[in-house]
Structure 1
């Protein structure tokens, strides 16, 4: 009953939000960015309580960790969201029927959006900013790993809301227990949409147990194919960046697929990767090519489990293919439909790759590390959808809206 009462307050707050002008929402978000900076010491102190409870070797540790620079980045993202046009009230289509009826299709908020996520406290800021800007209240269900960080961030958000005489229940953080998760997944009439962010296990659990609509933000099993006609210098830098820039995020490279005619280039790629002590699981042809130049303690023969794995660490696999069709087949077999890339100077092969690879984001001659709402010019993201219904890829303001039909008449009645 306690959770239901909390959800009732969020639902009431979401209805009040329908009447809030965008200019006020902009002011709230600008102040929130300021308060994130001003309270960085408090946020970091609470974040350290969470970090102290987690093994530093856990792949989730880097996602959990906040720093002054990361808080500054979060504040900048909030300001970016504030500066974007409101997605609400956009006329998508309008027509006048022969009987004089004027029919319009316009964007509207979903209402209440529920987010279930693991050890990523930055999501708390991002989700609130995107939901508020798109006219949605939000129910947050963070994991126990980040409980202190999330509580601190929500307390700052609610203080800002109260400063502007807005209902603090426009954002609500549920307790971290499993029982609360189950209640959230069955919250008919209170929550309009659930978006899970986290491991494949979390996403599967939400999909299998939710009785309200879900948009999946799937795991990122990301490939880069170095083609027969790939540029070696570009390839070396792109592969290094995609793998090592930040290994704990979903757009990091997991598997390099390489054309057999370019195995000689693998030596320079591997030498670059060894600078960051990347562990490589190589298939037989690639293993033979680099075994004499790559540190033995970092190189292992690939197994079937080496492919289709999201490593979230300084690990990756290598698969050798003899044609682009085999590369595409391998990628489609093991992909999570997140982000896939080709490195090639042959436009026909790039076009083939774009058409045949089934993923939400398909790259040519650049790093998959760019799959990110801010990098796509969306301000921030609420998640990266790997499904095809409603939204795909980075989800931001537009994807947090549904639509309604508005019909204007002047006394028309439908004939029998």
Structure 2
């Protein structure tokens, strides 16, 4: 352990100083804060050196420390003491402050704002912050290339300045990232190369995607008969809601929930709508305005009912009840029988469901296969916010923001081993 010459100012911190300085008994830390060897070294000419004062090692904003210096009386060669303990403290500071930058960047705090925050502690320019953050992200290994039986695939369309970028992602069913890369386009060949690099084309696979019409033929080209393709039911439900629009009356809402009732149990919602429609039939409206007012109030009552049921499910940690295959087929058969009563746009949607029935029901035939692509949608929402997709000026910024989310998800933002103030305290004990 380094011999510490205590004085009135550092006596109480002797234990901390012993942790900072090298554990070897060869060194001493004088009362004047000079770090040097207790016995002077021997020169190459076999002559023992003499103490020759000290050198200052400076670090901007922190101060300077005294490092012992030696001189040979025979050949005048000069030697300087090792300063690795000082470099370690500065490295600890840089590592801790870089982790702070990562947490702030995860909250989308700009480099200029981070620089302003740092000016309250130790001034740090935005360019230096940018460099430290990007160097840390460059060293983080992001992609994990493995083959999984059941995988989620999706695309996101962020922008780099005015240039459109395309983010292609593969996740396993447990949420583990298989691949997550950005490209300049998402044509058929790009997607095909991406899938072939990260997935084994010789193995049977189940892949969950959104409702894009181009996927079935693409997957067939790669895997042939070895692929089972599940189209996301959540995306299907969104398309159904979009077909009906926002300005709907009660009968439109009833028809919409009849379609939503195919795969998920929406019988309670349909009963509520039937009750509201019966109430409307009992009313006598003198003007269209009165009728419209009643419909608006009835829809508000229905939305409140939906919200109440949703909150109840969340409190109990439950999801919407999914129908068994037999019930699903019966509900859809009834919809097809009544197809002509629906608006033309909705009739096309029913035809689309009919044509893709195999892709919407594959999850019934594969154990543990999800019916939706929610896993990857949740991953996107945590790794690159929708309102942030257009705010990146370069590819590196886009990729690094995705890396920050991956780092947070895989390793978490744990508490630092030492706070910045604790490191500063160590530095203050050494500097003059």
Shorter-chain TM range is: under 0.3
Structure of larger gyration radius: 2
More helix by share: 2
TM-score of the superposed pair, with normalisation by structure 1: 0.26
TM-score of the superposed pair, with normalisation by structure 2: 0.25
